[in-house]
A and B are shown apart, each in its own frame.
Chain A
């Protein structure tokens, strides 16, 4: 499955049946294979210690020699992973101080403007985090910035996968997992945003409650069970908390592991770079190049988040104040990843279907659940839709350049346009104030654009891609430099020229 590893009978491994294992095996260094990392200080001895007792290194060698292609767009998914790790770390720090408690208390703390105000214990603990806990505000803001980065990285990562056709067989399942991860991340964002129980988050919850109530026939039951009764309830914060810090992170960790396992098993796709074929992987081995680069990239991502969290104020809940059901913040803006949903809900016409006194389709149901559901379902199962349309069910390991599949690029652009228009409509009040246009006119404009925009985007993108394609792609240059090829015993040997590469791989080269 993972290619030929060192054969059991590898002549470098001496093993004689029945021979007693020497007691102080650590002393016999010559017997072990030179371990990756074996030359490093601290790491080296530890690796040797472990290897001599478990054989882990011998096993791990194949893993560490695994080849990963190199392209800046392959970093996007990594950035998503790194932001998630930062979220786990900062989030854990927050749980030590945050109180998931909706009980009303009277504030008496260092933030004078809210002194004596009635608020939930949860909101009060967020104020404490922001003003009293050392590093608390940094952790809160870093957590929030990391959340924004996390979702942005997932979206750009999925966009890259989409435009290059990396989701094609055999990787359809991993697209579905990746898209599910996006949904879970959105869930994490929404539940986290709702935890502080400030005016903005409470208003958001009120809207979510109302959309849930609007589910035909089941709505009131579902809403009551989820929230613990009629809005506003005291239980909701503690319920969101357990979803936010345990359930969703647990599922995320599990699915991310499967996601990476699949990348491992199926091997990374690669761009059409010199030497690349459907039957090989050209790149750097995991150890040491890619491993160190990834560690470095993780720390750099964390550094950027620390900088954002330290210097740029985000979600200053003390300015919004605690949630009260009869007040609203103006203008109210959700985080951007919810903005498109907000736009949908804002632009929807006020139609609802009522028959014999029964409201069959309460208004918020279609824009709040059906339309997002349809948009996401189409994207979610896209690999199968595309294979159905093109009839192409072959395995693909070489990536398309975006223009090589004009109608796919066009469809991607159309989807992007829909989400962009919705996102802008979600900020219609802010834009209207900015552009000095009545907000009603702006909404009418976006109502038209959400249909016209994607069509225009489709045609323009299609034309551009066709033009680029007909312009002709550059012939692929021959492979330069030195390449190493993994041989049957798991070792590497040098390959000198293209013909040899192709012949050795038995792939017959590219067209």
Chain B
């Protein structure tokens, strides 16, 4: 069978009828044997490891050896010890040849089919009824969640007179926030609330440049903004004291704390809503009401307010 063969390029190894064991083959045999042996050792190791409770690293390495031993062995085996001939197979165009004439069976089937396709009205009603069925089945999907028109989408837990507390529910005292200090605060009764989360900052007196109607909302340089980023809702937590700006860690929207949290950089489309607060004589804070506008990322009817 090998008669008349030229030098074979490496890619093309012909079949051999005479099985001779070459040096390469003997080495390959040894190597494959060693790989399989490594697998056996590694699997034993894995069992021991389970019994004595070994760690992830050891297990990982042993498992890799166990799998790789068989895998590598098989590949070397095929590559060096199996004489896999190159084969040629014909292929045919995918497009079927046109048939000259219908067979009687085909003709009969076509005839039967036309009993279906001819009746346009019935067909239309069939489609309509299937559509109706699918719709009816889909309707219960609405029980997956409430309609998004409740107050919760537009308002937060802050109310007139809400005392300002920290994440553990403890009342916040002005002395806890030094100049350039920042604290995450909540309305009393809702510590940790996702919508009501607020940052309370102390920028010191005299720096704020708020619009006149909001100046009184920030007593003695204490100012409170919604912590919910108006971009995509991450908590805006990075306060860069020297620049006096708040930066969102998610997409770096930057808000100017002194200037009513105007956006100075990044994708956020509007300022962080400001919470009106009042400093009490005892050094604690209360809210003068909820945020004047809805907090958080934009949606189509955000500024129209909720129905319910």
Using a CB–CB cutoff of 8 Å, the interface residues on chain A facing chain B are 3, 65-67, 70, 134-135, 137-138, 141-142, 170, 203, 206-207, 209-211, 213-214, 216-217, 219-221, 223-233, 265-267, 273-275, 279-285, 288-289, 292-293, 295-304, 306-311, 324-332, 342, 345-352, 354, 357-360, 362-364, 367, 395, 397, 428-429, 439-440, 443, 479-486, 492, 494-496, 501, 505
Contacts and interface: CB of A to CB of B under 8 A. Distances in A.
A300 B89 CA distance: 29
Contacts of B195: 230
A194 B299 CA distance: 23
A311 B60 contact: yes
Contact of B70 (A226, A266, A299, A342): A299
B181 interface: no
Nearest to B227: A326
Nearest to A233: B145
B74 A501 contact: no
Contact of A350 (B61, B84, B144, B267): B267
Contact of B94 (A3, A170, A223, A273): A170
B63 A350 contact: no
A232 B194 contact: yes
Contact of A210 (B58, B71, B149, B233): B233
Contact of B88 (A281, A345, A496): A281
A479 B195 CA distance: 72
B8 A482 contact: yes
A3 B89 CA distance: 9
Contact of B297 (A66, A214, A342, A348): A214
B67 A299 contact: yes
Interface string B177-206: 000000010000000111101000000000
A481 B86 contact: yes
Nearest to A425: B251
B161 to A, nearest CB: 22
The majority secondary structure among interface residues of chain A is mixed
Interface of B: 1-2, 4-9, 11-15, 50, 53, 56-61, 63-68, 70-75, 77-79, 82, 84-95, 141-142, 144-150, 152-153, 167, 184, 192-195, 197, 227, 231-235, 237-238, 249-254, 263, 265-269, 296-304
Contacts of B146: 224, 229
Contacts of A494: 1
Contacts of B235: 325-328
Q: Describe B's contact surface by its main secondary structure.
A: loop
A282 B254 CA distance: 61
A357 B303 contact: yes
A149 to B, nearest CB: 14
Contacts of A304: 64, 68
B192 A345 contact: no
A360 B92 CA distance: 54
A362 B252 contact: no
13 contacts: A206-B232, A207-B232, A231-B233, A281-B89, A307-B60, A310-B56, A326-B192, A328-B249, A346-B266, A358-B303, A481-B11, A484-B87, A485-B90
Given A206-B234, A226-B144, A300-B71, A482 B12 contact: yes
Contacts of B71: 295-303
B89 A280 contact: yes
A482 B145 contact: no
Nearest to B296: A210
B94 A266 contact: yes
A198 to B, nearest CB: 15
B300 A216 contact: yes
B87 A284 contact: yes
A310 B234 CA distance: 33
Given A273-B11, A281-B88, A285-B85, 20 more contacts: A213-B299, A216-B300, A217-B300, A267-B89, A279-B90, A284-B86, A303-B66, A308-B60, A309-B60, A310-B63, A327-B235, A327-B237, A352-B298, A360-B300, A428-B252, A481-B13, A483-B86, A484-B88, A485-B87, A496-B4
B61 A362 contact: no
B269 A207 contact: no
A282 B147 CA distance: 61
Contacts of B8: 480-482
B59 A135 contact: yes
Contacts of A351: 269
5 A-B pairs closest in CB distance: A310-B60, A299-B71, A481-B12, A482-B14, A303-B68
Contacts of B265: 440
Contacts of A428: 252
Contact of B194 (A285, A326, A480): A326
B234 A207 contact: yes
Given A220-B153, A230-B195, A362-B300, A279 B91 contact: yes
Contacts of B147: 221, 224
Nearest to A444: B265
Contacts of B2: 482
A233 B266 CA distance: 28
Contacts of B296: 210
A299 B74 contact: yes
Contacts of A486: 87-90
B253 A350 contact: yes
A297 to B, nearest CB: 7
A211 B82 contact: no
A243 to B, nearest CB: 13
A307 B65 CA distance: 9
Contacts of B15: 482, 484
B267 A207 contact: no
A3 B91 CA distance: 7
Nearest to A426: B251
A213 B5 contact: no
A329 B238 CA distance: 11
A210 B297 contact: yes
A280 B82 contact: no
Contacts of B6: 480-481
Contacts of B14: 481-482
A282 to B, nearest CB: 5
Contacts of A354: 303
Given A302-B67, A303-B71, A326-B197, A283 B86 contact: yes
Contacts of A295: 71, 74
Contacts of B299: 213-214, 219-220, 359, 362
B13 A214 contact: no
A67 B250 contact: no
A49 to B, nearest CB: 25
Contact of B89 (A67, A137, A203, A350): A67
A495 B88 contact: yes
Contacts of A229: 145-146
B252 A439 contact: yes
Contacts of A345: 232, 251, 267
Contacts of A135: 50, 59
